[in-house]
Structures are given as C-alpha cells and as structure tokens.
Structure 1
Amino acid sequence: MKKTKKFIGTLTLTLLLGLMVGCSSENDKKSDSSTDNKSTSIKKIKDSGVIKVGIKEDVPNFGYMNPDTNKNEGMEPDIARLIAKELTGSEDNVEFIGVTAKTRGPLLDNGELDMVIATFTITDERKETYNFTTPYYKDEVGFLVRKADKFKDTASLDGKTIGVVQSSTTKEAIEKQAKKLGVSFKYQELGSYPELKTALTSKRIDAFSVDKSILTGYVDDKTEILKDGFSPQEYGIATKKANTELNDYLNELIKKWEQDGTLDKIYKAWNLD
C-alpha cells in the first residue's frame, strides 16, 4: 500500500512538472511568434523579394495606370519603386495593387498589402487605426468647375451640387469651410475621380472637389480650378498599426529623401509643386 501511494505521488508530480514545462514552452512559442511577427516584417519582405503596394490608378501625376503602356505612372509609384530598391535591391521588385479611397484600408487590414501609397490623407482619426509616415506631400482642397458657369470662389457655389469621392475626407472638409462662409451645398458621392469628371462634364454636378493637385490631372479646355483653397492635406505612407518596425523604416527613408532632394526631383518629374 505504501509503495502504491509513493508511486502515485511520484507519477502525479511528474505529470504536473510535464504540464508546467509544456505550458511554459507553449507560451514561449507564442511569445516568440508574436515577437517574430512584429520584428521580422522587414525581413519577411526581403525574403519574399517583393513589396506589395496599394496605389491609385486614376489620379494623373500621382498614381495612374497608363492605358498605352500598361504601366503605373506618377509620383507615388516612383516612391514605391525607390522603397523596393532599398528593401530588395531592385526597383522592379514591387507589385502594384490598384486601390480606391474605399478599398485601400480593408486591403491593408487583411494583409494583401504591405503598405499604401495612395493620396492617403493623414488625420487624427486614421492614426488610431494605421501607422503613417511623415508627410511626403502637402496639398489643399479645391474645386474644379466649368468655365461657362463663371464661378469665382467657394461662396459662389452656395446651394450647388458638389461631387466628391466615396470614403474620402473631402466632404467633411467642405462642410467645415461652408460653415465658416455661411453657405450650404448638396453632394453627390461617386466611386472614382473619372466618374466625377464625367459627372461634371455632363452637368450632373456643379463642381468636382478633391485636393488641388489631384484636380490638375482633370483640367481641360472647358474647366478650371478655383483659386480658393482650404483644409491643408498631408499624404503619408500607411502601414498596419502593429507594424511599427516597417513604419519607422519608411519614415526614415522619407526624411532622408526630403533632405537630399530626392522628393523634389520626383515632384518636378510629375509637374507637382
């Protein structure tokens, strides 16, 4: 009986120790895995040999899919290519994925993108969800109108229908400016900038509003951008909130390119101030 009790006690102690070691080992694995996910994001990109970048394809000078060459053109694809060169050794090692204001966040969230470089305006609200680098471009909101309508400024659009892209911050910015001026607007929200330009041409809207530099890509002989500008906009490269290592790395690149004139060369190449 005593031997049986002693054997049971020894067996119980052995099992408990085994469970403790197993749990500790499992926790260590989870901790290591968690750390690995955060600390090797850059390494994973380098190992894969390609970066996946969300860019616009309908914004001339910023992010545009040229139908003649079937290539992505603009300031933002150029920045992405420079990042690819830094991370993988070649500007060609970048996979471009077209995004809109509505899809860029979800595509970043589900891991289909490593980063978004797509006229993504930095706001306090968005910084709660994503990491943003220091701004690589600064702009302001404006209006594209038909010359024949002879609108002179923002106030002259009182009561008119303004076209804005879905899920952008433009409407909010316009509303703030409207309150300052004591005017009001109606709105039509569409999915893309080309749709808004078509709506302006067909007189379904009275003005197409977004950041002025974006509007420059849609000016023609019958349209003009009003001189009025408001609500300064800053564009940053967005990454997942937990991916601080990649954000810090990209942030240093933007700062370096701002100081050494690299960004200025890109602006000039695409006729951007």
Structure 2
Amino acid sequence: MARFHTRSMMAAVLAVALSGSLSACGGTSQSSDGDGKRITIGIKFDQPGLGFKQGSSYTGLDTDVARYVAKKLGYSEDQIVWKEAPSKQREALIQNGDVDMVVATYTMNKARSKVIDFAGPYFVAAQDLLVRSDETGITGPKSLDGKKLCSVTGSNSAQRIKQDYSSKVQLMEQSGYAECVTALISGTVDAVTTDDVILAGLASAKGNGQLKVLGTPFSKEPYGIGIKKGDTSMVSKVNKAIEDMISDGSWKKAVDSATKGTGYTPNSEFNPPTKIGDSSWIQDL
C-alpha cells in the first residue's frame, strides 16, 4: 500500500508540473499571473527611426509610443514582448490574438478598419519617393511611367501609385524596405515608395549619402495603433494614452529623437495630431 501511495503522489506531482509547463507555453499574451504579466506588441524590425531591432535592442518612434502606451496600461518595459509585424501580416497577427496591439507605421484606412480597430493617430506622415542622389528624371509620382519601383508587400503605397499616378510603372514587391533600398542602390530599381518619415530614416541609416527623399509628398498617412475588432475598452484606453503623450511633452521628445540627423521635419499642419480617435482620420486607401 505504501508503494502504491508513493507512486500515486509522484504521478500527481508530475501531472501538475506538466500542466504548468503547458500553461507557460500557451495561453493569451496578456497574462495576469503575478510576474507572468505580459503584453505583446507588434512592431517593424527593419525601419530605422521607427521600429528597428538591433541585437536585443528595439528603437524608434513606434517603440517609444508602444512603451508609453504600455506603461499607461500598467505594464513595465520588461513586461513587453516585441513581435515582428511585417506589413502583410499585421491584420492576421491581431485577429489571431498573436499580439495585443500593432504599432508599426500602420496607416488608418477603410479596408483595414473593417477587420481591426484603430486607436490614434499618434503621427501623420505622407507618401513620397526615395531615389538615388544623382537622379534627375524622376520628379514626382507622375514621372514614374516605365520606371522600376519597389515597395513592400502588403503596403498600400505601390497600389496608390498604380491607381492614381503611373499605371505603366514596373512594380517590384519585397518583404521589407531594407531589400528595396539594396535594390535601389544597386540600380535594380529606380525608386522606392512609402511614407516620407520611413524613407528619411532609411536614407540616413543605409544610404551613406547615395540616396535622397524627393520631397514631393502626395498623401496623408495617419499612423494608428491596431487593436482587435470590437475591443472598445482597449481603444479608449490607448487613445487616452496617446493624448497624454502629446500633452506631457513625451511625444515631441520621441519624434525629435526618431528624426534626428535625417533632415526630416514632420508636417506641422497635422502634427502633433488632434482629435485622437475621430473616425475622420480613416483614409480611403
């Protein structure tokens, strides 16, 4: 009997240990079990000045905004789990519960707002073109017919060019903007298109003087924080956090840090943003 009792106790201990191990591997990203409390935030890993991973460090405006919002929600920096959120995967990451929010140069538009909710905006950029420094033939989006253009799969930048400006442009899509910059420097493509603040960071960090932002902005790109559809409580809390970040000076400090040395100046007509959470910010494309 004693042997049976000992074996039973050992089996019970093993079962509890196994259960705990499985729980640690699964579950939601927002756990409230003491030291296990975490929030998972999707960011870009390849955008200098915005969302950039270097070793174990995460830097840029998006990460600063994410840290501020997380703190307002009750999470310290070491409770943040950073997850890469490429453009084409952002909605799926939110819908599947792989992240609690996405802060990744995420333009607030109608198509996306059908499947996820947005808080914000926290910054307003504009689409522009990145070209080689000696480029003279490209003067704006209307001069791209017959040119080779690079953008990132899942972004709306290339779609806008083809739809509104240059239907004859030859489009190359890459998984990230770093690949587009490499193609531009090598001469494989003639221009890269996305938001001006992204291009400024890329030119400064990777161009070594070989690249320039054309400086002919042709869209309005309000950056929102993506949240699971229907989570109105979270949207309200995040909107309030963004308002606080702007009002207490943290927003300006973060923007100045993110754009230092790039030669980029945010459009003062829209920055810092007002009417946070207003549906008028949702763009058609």
State the TM-score, normalized to the length of structure 1: 0.77
Aligned partner letter, 2:180: L
Task: Report what 2:136 is aligned to.
Answer: 150
Aligned to 1:122: 108
Given the alignment of the two structures, is residue 250 of structure 1 paired with residue 238 of structure 2, yes or no? yes
How much does 1:184 deviate?
A: 3.5
Query: 2:195 maps to what in 1?
Result: 211
Match of 2:78 in 1: 92
Q: 2 CA distance for matches of 1:234 and 1:129?
A: 18
2:162 is matched with which residue?
175
Report how far residue 242 of structure 1 moved: 2.1
> Is 1:63 paired with 2:51?
yes
Aligned residue for 1:160? 147
Of 260, 268, 271, which residue of structure 1 is paired with 2:256? 268
Deviations 1:36-92 (A, max 9, x none): xxxxx99x555552110000000001000014xx21111111122122222235222
Rounded Cα–Cα distance in structure 2 between residues aligned with 1:212 and 1:45: 37
Pairwise CA RMSD: 2.0
Q: Is 1:80 matched with 2:66? A: yes
Q: Do the aligned residues in 2 keep the contact of 1:85 with 1:93 (CA within 8 Å)?
A: no
For structure 2, the residue ranges without an aligned partner over 5 or more in a row are 1-27, 260-264, 267-285
Kindly provide the amino acid, as one letter, of the partner of residue 219 in structure 2.
Answer: S
- 158-167 or 250-259, larger mean C-alpha shift: 250-259
After superposition, what is the alpha-carbon deviation per residue over 1:124-179, rounded to whole angstroms, capped at 9, x for unaligned?
12111111012001011111111233235113333201101001110122134416
> In structure 1, the residue corresponding to 2:121 is in which secondary structure?
coil
Partner of 1:110: 96
Is 1:200 the equivalent of 2:180? no
User: In 2, distance between residues paired with 1:45 and 1:120?
Assistant: 26
Retained in 1: the 8 A contact 2:68–2:241? no
For structure 1, list consecutive stretches of 5 or more residues without a partner in the other structure.
Answer: 1-40
The code of the aligned residue for 1:100 comes to P
| Cα offset, 1:231, TM superposition | 1.3
Q: Which has the higher helix share?
A: 1
Alignment of 1:200-239 (within 5 A): 200-219=184-203, 220=207, 221-239=209-227
Paired residue type of 2:72? E
Q: TM-score, normalised by structure 2?
A: 0.74
How far residue 251 of structure 1 moved from its aligned partner, in angstroms, is 1.1
Structure 2 CA distance, aligned partners of 1:78 and 1:201?
A: 30
Q: Distance in 1 between matches of 2:258 and 2:215?
A: 21
- How many residues are paired up? 227
Partner-residue secondary structure (3-state), 1:137: strand
8 A contact 1:46–1:88 mirrored in 2: no
Query: Quick one: distance in 2 between partners of 1:232 and 1:196?
Result: 22
Question: Does structure 1 conserve the Cα–Cα contact (< 8 Å) formed by 2:39 and 2:75?
Answer: no
Q: Secondary structure at the match of 2:104?
A: coil
Deviation at 1:99, TM superposition (A): 1.4
Cα distance in 1 for residues equivalent to 2:202 and 2:258: 14
TM superposition shift of 1:200 = 0.7
2:149–2:191 contact (8 Å) kept in structure 1: yes
Matched, 1:49 2:33: no
Q: Which amino acid aligns with 1:112?
A: D
Partners of 1:46 and 1:87 within 8 A in 2? no
Q: Highest Rg: 1 or 2?
A: 1
